[in-house]
Chains A and B, each alone.
Chain A
Amino acid sequence: MSAPAMILPRQAVATSAAGPAPAQPFRLAAGGLVDRTATLDFTFDGRRYTGHPGDTLASALLANGVRLVGRSFKYHRPRGILSSGPEEPNALVELRSGARREPNTRATMAELFAGLEARSQNRWPSLRFDLMGVNQLVAPILAAGFYYKTFMWPAAFWETVYEPLIRRAAGLGRAAGEPDPDHYEKATLHCDVLVTGAGPAGLMAALAAARAGARVVLCEEDVRLGGRLLAERRTLDGLPAPDWLRGVEAELRAMPDCRILTRTTVFGAFDGACGAVERVSDHLATPPEFQPRQRLWRIVAGRQVLAAGSIERPLVFGGNDRPGIMLAGAVRSYLNRFGVAAGRRAVVFTNNDDAACTVADLAAAGVAVAALVDMRREVSPEIRRIAEAAGASLLTDAAVTRVRGRTALRGVEVTDGAGRRHALDCDLLAMSGGWSPSLHLASHHGGKAAWNEARATFLPPEQLPPGMAVAGAANGDLLLAECLAAGARAGAAAAQATGFRPAPPATPSVDGESTASAPFWWVRGGRGKAFVDFQNDVGVEDVALANREGFRSVEHLKRYTTLGMATDQGKTSNANGVALLAELSGRTIAGTGTTTFRPPYTPVAIGALAGHHRGKAFRPVRRTPTHDWAAEQGAVFVEAGPWLRAQYFPRPGESDWLETVTREARTVREAVGLCDVTTLGKIDIQGPDAATFLERVYINTWKALPVGRARYGVMLREDGMVMDDGTTARLAEDRFVMTTTTVNAVRVSQHLEFCHQWLWPELDVQMISVTEQWAQIAVAGPRSRAVLERVVDAPFDIGNDAFPHMACAALTVCGGIKARLFRLSFSGEMAYEIAVPARFGDALARRLMEAGAPFGITPYGTEALGVLRIEKGHVAGNELTGQTTAADLGLGRMMSRKKDFIGRAMAQRPGLTDPARPVLVGLRPVDRAARLRGGAHLLPRGAESTAAHDQGYLTSVAFSPALGHWIGLGLLVRGRERMGEIVRAHDPVRGGDLEVEVVPPVFVDPEGARLHV
């Protein structure tokens, strides 16, 4: 058995903040798993200290005699370190500084590194003199839920006075307020068996499964494997625990398909995957180059073994929150793992046998133990022997009824069963109320933890997440021998279930122990506030008040008192709270039940959950084939869904975007322009039934469309509203290419597949997206043909007769490049869309610019595209809102009466055919100099500005270069009957209100003559 050295250096604590860091007065001279050959400097609240590699911030603070580390949430009571693990409710600090400042970090989980900066939080001006501590004086008022009963008068004071005060007082640490400079990543890991927790049960499970050949992932939140074995003086197979652990770790690491992830917390059991977070670089001042700070793992496992251990429960008694009062198991952790004595003179207070180990270990380390205070009337001879050997007086049927000290414990008063009071000086009180299984992940699928009366603890639910088994202390097995055996069994079973043939490993032999305990939950009649939930300052009186007021459901208790809602999510308080409520309300604990454990098991950095996807990498960018060319032309780009498109192409001397866009649109009307329209969805539809298929998805007819011609089509959703529109061309008897709007491309594709695979599988039709295959460029304007003639290979004739409006053809351009030419127009001018394989898109744009130079060609962007289409009254995304029918948009006559199509039936409902529905109209300002704004509502002239007179709104607006004033499209109630009427465009959110005239939606060339030249 390895015994830590007995000598505790006696040394005064140095005090100067500027001077050299003091030595570590509470560090044992030897023992533990810290590296005393190296010293790490760190600061807490600006004061310098030292620790060693292997320390946590908590162990290093204790080594330096720092007891007061934080203030509680509500009463700002002084608090010290309670635990040595993830359950820590008190010792929360702000770690690091500047953009890396991270609030609410548990000192017990923060590995020490050189230069670590930590600060206490939620105090002002300092930790020792916290003015908010005044809350303790008015604590009787600040009982659970007091805020629901007051702050109601005067009403205006809530937001202006009361709430700002509460908000400032609440909260814990401070967020950085600057972008996080570190990066994060996410990855997926597949395995046969996931083992959560590398304590004795988890290690045996991993061994059993890995030896059978299964792919194993072993996750351990600590930096080392071993779990409680690291904190205890135990022997396995005759070896001290650290030596045994080394052997097991070496074997696991040697197996190629066993992956060990340390510093990795499995935080959630979701459907089909667990979430885990690996703290890759948190133990360093800054992440190494090319390393993330943290990595999110999604672990997909065939089976999983939860071996997360257990958490010790505090005892509930008056003053149980004083710095210096600590969990008994944590005291052993600090002694045995970190070589730190958490005090110089201790009292141990317990309801169980396990805490006697703390007596033995303290004594072995040379710490005086004044007394072992056991709540039980009878204790075993072994316990008596341990107390005697340690020189501790044994007080049975006894409890701590009073504590002394404010920012640090100075002594306790114990009352025994006979009512005798014993005043004991001590600076450390180690307490143990028994152990609660860490079963959180086991109930993440909704199964409720079940109370086990015999073991006086909650156990994992019967209904576990699929594929999960629970082993060891997480399953309520507290004896080491049980943990080892259960782990081996669970690992073997998991391997077997995933198709392997395990031979369960032999369980190591261990020394004997006892974990007998008796259920005592709280000490009645003590002095001072007795806390159940330390961080949220929920005491026995708060639970009693909740019970008194009828908040007797355990969920009501939680929500009313905030018990279990702090950053530790009740890890040390839930069982005590439930037991207390049960006792106060006269119910059993089983009948009282427990709250639901929700992910995450411990808090997870939001950055890790986002990973790579932040900033510009938030979502992928789609770039058009002409992107670089457009950039060279000085284009300003705009986000169009996932795409980046050229919005406009400013030229030197142009004062603003409007001038540029006006020039671009005018050039198209008067000469020629080119615009990349690749982003429109393109779907290749083939097969003998292709035309039949189109008949069913579009409202208009397709069978008669000749090869070499295109047609405008509209498709509805099944509820009768317009889904999308676009032009579809017939390339062959059995082949069409459909275009969709940019934003709906994916949705339409999915819809077509649905129609084909689910509704009409009998049709012989195949479809695939070709959006990306073709770079498609619109060449529009009266000189467009002249430009194209210089590009299209001879002898193809693009004259108006040979290639009229709505013609399409496959041909070659630029000396043999295969291409598709469509004579389509969104602008109302004679126009073409030319498509070439995407790799040639960039060069085609350049060639078209050269060819068009003599004609004054300009590139134009999405803005001018919008101007041109508004001038022509073509609908686009602003009108295809999913709230409009074909009739609303003036497309009602396209709806064939001779066939069924998607949406036909529901489009006939009264609500969709109501003649009072708003319909598409054109609008122009009466004052031609006035500017229209999209989103302005349309009201009758002279009517009051109320909802009763709301008759529609402006969907799209543009400055029309052709007309020299602003124009708009809008949806207006009975609009087609109101041509010439003056209405108001009412835009109170931008302070606008002007008169507009209702006109037909086509502003330019209503006869369409320019299309056919």
Chain B
Amino acid sequence: MLAEKYSIVSVVAQALRGQRGWKPVWREPEPRAEYDVVIVGGGGHGLATAWYLASQHGITSVAVLEKGYLGSGNVGRNTTIVRSNYLLPGNIPFYEHSLKLWEGLERDINYNAMVSQRGVLNLFHSDAQRDAYARRGNAMRLHGVDAELLDRDAVRRLYPFFDYDNARFPIQGGLLQPRGGTVRHDAVAWGYARAADRRGVDLIQNCEVTGIRVEGGRAVGVETGRGVIRARKIGLACAGNSSRVAAMAGLRLPIESHVLQAFVSEGIKPLVDGVVTFGAGHFYMSQSDKGGLVFGGDIDGYNSYAQRGNLPVVEDVCEGGMALMPGIGRLRLLRQWGGLMDMSMDGSPIIDRTPVEGLYLNAGWCYGGFKATPASGWCFAHLIARDAPHPVATAFRLDRFATGHLIDEKGAGAQPNLH
């Protein structure tokens, strides 16, 4: 156990010593020859899984293998939104479980990930959209989740600077989830990593998995740039690259990799209080504690492993932004980047065993992966530890595509780029 407990006391004490007493937040161990559990992917989901394996199931012979640096995937390149405003019964309990874990995260891992429940507002612009959001809000309420349907005036009171008078698609109201909000994304990875490390989990960076060893139908280890590591159980938590890694075990998945862009503006004084989603174009945004507007839109729409997007989507998103908030014309886009999405065939994730014994899959997060991080880790750890799905994740089966028990929130069908 390297790191001490974080608190204002420790911070002040360290300040008096010139911040020289802090220890590394994680070790840099050499991989051992064998572990009980190997998690492939040192992103948010993989690290959360390791933490909950250790903290909830007492399994500490765990290695998390990361091909780059910890948190180098989507946990470090998303738009930081957390919410549980889902429509379908397969999804709501899971994301609500996640939101509850977010609410207690700081105390659980002794790390301030700045969970900020600023409210998530989805705007609607037609009667049909209103009723669709009412349907969703009612579904949330039936699951014990907070949801409020706001009319135009109520939205205007919250966000007076939207375009209410000259809009191509006038705002009629919005569905608000007050408990939704944002979380400082990198801190999630670091906090879980630090907490898992303190329980003895080996976090191994710069260790790319190049093969999965299957013997007699059972996964027994992984080949890496740093040698073979054997494991009783192997969990894949490498969304964006799930197909590539699963193929090492001979699996084909109902997943395509797509690129989703995200954007941040220069920092400005507080303007946008919560998270807002435009309902008549591809645009959503929030403002970070640092002052930048963090925003995004739709995926670029074609398969990609390039982690970068293109100008048509940049323009599309900014057109949506200007349509919603014509006052941001003079704000400047500071940085634009891309993340790889595991776009599944029904837009919902997979947390399940695979046909290869001992190989577990956590994949298909589309662009909902960040908000799912705690519950994903919680449920994946449960699955790996007990070989049974966690009650809130029972719908996320791999065979649902074959049986037709789909979880298709948008009704877009088997076309990943439409989800």
Chain A interface residues toward B at CB < 8 A: 73, 99-104, 140-141, 143, 146-153, 155, 158-159, 163, 166-168, 170-180, 182, 184, 186, 268, 270-273, 275, 296, 298, 444-446, 541, 545, 548-551, 553, 555-556, 559-560, 562, 566-567, 569, 596, 598-600, 603-607, 609-611, 613-619, 621, 638-639, 717-721, 723, 877-878, 881-883, 906, 909-913, 933-937, 945-947, 949-950, 953-954, 986-990
- Indicate with 1 or 0, residue by residue over B306-318, a CB within 8 angstroms of chain A CB atoms: 1110110011001
| Cβ–Cβ < 8 Å partners of B331 in chain A | 102-103, 175, 605-606
Knowing A149-B112, A618-B281 touch, does A155 contact B106 (C-beta < 8 A)? Answer: yes
Query: Once the chains are docked, how many angstroms separate the CA of A610 from the CA of B325?
Result: 12
Most buried by A among B125, B336, B414: B336
CB distance from B42 to the nearest CB of A (A): 11
Knowing A167-B289, A171-B270, A638-B126 touch, does A717 contact B326 (C-beta < 8 A)? Answer: no
Beta-carbon contact of A143 and B318 below 8 Å: no
Beta-carbon contact of A168 and B148 below 8 Å: no
| B318 to A, closest residue via Cβ | A609
Beta-carbon contact of B307 and A446 below 8 Å: yes
**In the complex, the 5 A-B pairs of residues with the closest C-beta atoms, listed nearest first:** A882-B411, A911-B404, A607-B329, A935-B134, A171-B291
CB distance from A866 to the nearest CB of B (A): 9
Query: Once the chains are docked, how many angstroms separate the CA of A345 from the CA of B381?
Result: 67
| Cβ–Cβ < 8 Å partners of B265 in chain A | 603, 606
CB distance from B2 to the nearest CB of A (A): 9
| B113 to A, closest residue via Cβ | A148
| B190 to A, closest residue via Cβ | A148
Knowing A273-B311, A598-B335, A882-B408 touch, does A101 contact B269 (C-beta < 8 A)? Answer: no
Query: Once the chains are docked, how many angstroms separate the CA of A600 from the CA of B318?
Result: 14
Beta-carbon contact of A158 and B114 below 8 Å: yes
Query: Once the chains are docked, how many angstroms separate the CA of A616 from the CA of B76?
Result: 36
CB distance from A902 to the nearest CB of B (A): 11
Knowing A615-B168, A878-B131 touch, does A152 contact B110 (C-beta < 8 A)? Answer: yes
Query: Once the chains are docked, how many angstroms separate the CA of A150 from the CA of B128?
Result: 46
The answer to the question of B57 belonging to the interface, with a C-beta cut-off of 8 Å to chain A, is no
Beta-carbon contact of A618 and B333 below 8 Å: no
| Cβ–Cβ < 8 Å partners of B406 in chain A | 719, 911
Beta-carbon contact of B24 and A639 below 8 Å: no
| Cβ–Cβ < 8 Å partners of B10 in chain A | 149
Beta-carbon contact of B11 and A149 below 8 Å: yes
| Cβ–Cβ < 8 Å partners of B291 in chain A | 167, 170-172
Query: Once the chains are docked, how many angstroms separate the CA of A605 from the CA of B141?
Result: 40
A-B contact pairs, 17 of them (CB 8 A): A151-B112, A168-B269, A172-B269, A175-B268, A275-B314, A566-B267, A596-B337, A598-B308, A598-B335, A599-B314, A605-B332, A607-B328, A614-B323, A619-B168, A883-B411, A934-B127, A986-B142
| Cβ–Cβ < 8 Å partners of A179 in chain B | 163, 166, 326-327, 329
| Cβ–Cβ < 8 Å partners of A296 in chain B | 315
| A545 to B, closest residue via Cβ | B19
Beta-carbon contact of A616 and B166 below 8 Å: yes
Chain B interface residues toward A at CB < 8 A: 6-8, 10-12, 14-16, 18-20, 22-26, 28, 68-72, 76, 89, 92-93, 106-107, 110-118, 125-128, 130-139, 141-144, 147-149, 161, 163, 166-170, 175, 184, 186-187, 190-191, 205, 265-271, 280-281, 287, 289-291, 306-308, 310-311, 314-315, 318-323, 326-337, 400, 402-406, 408, 410-414
Beyond the given A149-B11, A184-B329, A603-B265, please list 18 additional residue pairs across the A-B interface where CB-CB is below 8 A: A99-B327, A150-B7, A150-B112, A152-B110, A163-B116, A175-B271, A177-B327, A180-B326, A186-B315, A444-B308, A549-B24, A555-B68, A559-B76, A605-B333, A639-B126, A717-B414, A882-B408, A950-B89
| Cβ–Cβ < 8 Å partners of B410 in chain A | 882
Give the residue of B106, B270, B404 whose beta carbon is less than 8 angstroms from that of A720.
B404
| Cβ–Cβ < 8 Å partners of A141 in chain B | 11-12, 15
Beta-carbon contact of B134 and A721 below 8 Å: no
A to B contact number (C-beta, < 8 Å): 371
Query: Once the chains are docked, how many angstroms separate the CA of A961 from the CA of B267?
Result: 56
| Cβ–Cβ < 8 Å partners of A718 in chain B | 413-414
| Cβ–Cβ < 8 Å partners of A911 in chain B | 400, 403-406
Query: Once the chains are docked, how many angstroms separate the CA of A901 from the CA of B273?
Result: 51
Beta-carbon contact of A609 and B190 below 8 Å: no
Give the residue of A158, A272, A562 whose beta carbon is less than 8 angstroms from that of B115.
A158
CB distance from A528 to the nearest CB of B (A): 14
Beta-carbon contact of A148 and B6 below 8 Å: yes
| Cβ–Cβ < 8 Å partners of B411 in chain A | 721, 881-883
Query: Once the chains are docked, how many angstroms separate the CA of A147 from the CA of B115?
Result: 12
Knowing A103-B331, A270-B310 touch, does A883 contact B408 (C-beta < 8 A)? Answer: yes
Query: Once the chains are docked, how many angstroms separate the CA of A882 from the CA of B326?
Result: 34
CB distance from A162 to the nearest CB of B (A): 9
Most buried by B among A555, A605, A614, A913: A614
CB distance from A895 to the nearest CB of B (A): 15
| Cβ–Cβ < 8 Å partners of A444 in chain B | 308
CB distance from A919 to the nearest CB of B (A): 16
Beta-carbon contact of A153 and B311 below 8 Å: no
Beta-carbon contact of B335 and A549 below 8 Å: no
Knowing A141-B11, A150-B7, A170-B289 touch, does A606 contact B142 (C-beta < 8 A)? Answer: no
Query: Once the chains are docked, how many angstroms separate the CA of A232 from the CA of B159?
Result: 51
Query: Once the chains are docked, how many angstroms separate the CA of A149 from the CA of B148?
Result: 34
Query: Once the chains are docked, how many angstroms separate the CA of A101 from the CA of B24?
Result: 45
| Cβ–Cβ < 8 Å partners of B311 in chain A | 268, 270, 273, 275, 298
Beta-carbon contact of A555 and B142 below 8 Å: no
CB distance from B153 to the nearest CB of A (A): 15
Knowing A559-B186, A613-B322, A616-B166 touch, does A180 contact B118 (C-beta < 8 A)? Answer: no
Beta-carbon contact of A600 and B268 below 8 Å: no
Query: Once the chains are docked, how many angstroms separate the CA of A883 from the CA of B88?
Result: 11
Give the residue of B72, B138, B323, B332 whose beta carbon is less than 8 angstroms from that of A104.
B332
| Cβ–Cβ < 8 Å partners of B306 in chain A | 445-446
Beta-carbon contact of B319 and A548 below 8 Å: no
| A903 to B, closest residue via Cβ | B413
Query: Once the chains are docked, how many angstroms separate the CA of A172 from the CA of B288?
Result: 12
Beta-carbon contact of B268 and A103 below 8 Å: yes
Most buried by B among A143, A596, A607, A913: A607
CB distance from B347 to the nearest CB of A (A): 11
Query: Once the chains are docked, how many angstroms separate the CA of A609 from the CA of B287?
Result: 19
Most buried by B among A719, A881, A882, A933: A719
Beta-carbon contact of B166 and A989 below 8 Å: no
Give the residue of B6, B76, B413 whose beta carbon is less than 8 angstroms from that of A719.
B413
Beta-carbon contact of A567 and B267 below 8 Å: yes
Give the residue of A186, A446, A638, A935 whose beta carbon is less than 8 angstroms from that of B138.
A935
CB distance from B174 to the nearest CB of A (A): 11
Knowing A152-B7, A153-B7 touch, does A599 contact B336 (C-beta < 8 A)? Answer: yes
Give the residue of A103, A639, A936 whose beta carbon is less than 8 angstroms from that of B169.
A639
Most buried by A among B14, B107, B117, B400: B14
Give the residue of A186, A553, A949, A989 whose beta carbon is less than 8 angstroms from that of B149.
A989
Beta-carbon contact of B414 and A610 below 8 Å: no
Give the residue of A180, A878, A910 whose beta carbon is less than 8 angstroms from that of B404.
A910
Give the residue of B115, B267, B322 whose beta carbon is less than 8 angstroms from that of A170.
B267
CB distance from A186 to the nearest CB of B (A): 7
Beta-carbon contact of A935 and B132 below 8 Å: yes
Knowing A172-B267, A175-B271 touch, does A163 contact B329 (C-beta < 8 A)? Answer: no
Knowing A140-B16, A610-B315, A910-B404 touch, does A618 contact B169 (C-beta < 8 A)? Answer: yes
| B17 to A, closest residue via Cβ | A140
CB distance from A797 to the nearest CB of B (A): 40
Give the residue of B8, B16, B115 whose beta carbon is less than 8 angstroms from that of A150.
B8
Give the residue of B111, B138, B320 whose beta carbon is less than 8 angstroms from that of A937.
B138
CB distance from B368 to the nearest CB of A (A): 18
Query: Once the chains are docked, how many angstroms separate the CA of A296 from the CA of B117?
Result: 37
Give the residue of A147, A298, A600, A949 whose beta carbon is less than 8 angstroms from that of B114.
A147
CB distance from B339 to the nearest CB of A (A): 12
Query: Once the chains are docked, how many angstroms separate the CA of A550 from the CA of B3?
Result: 11
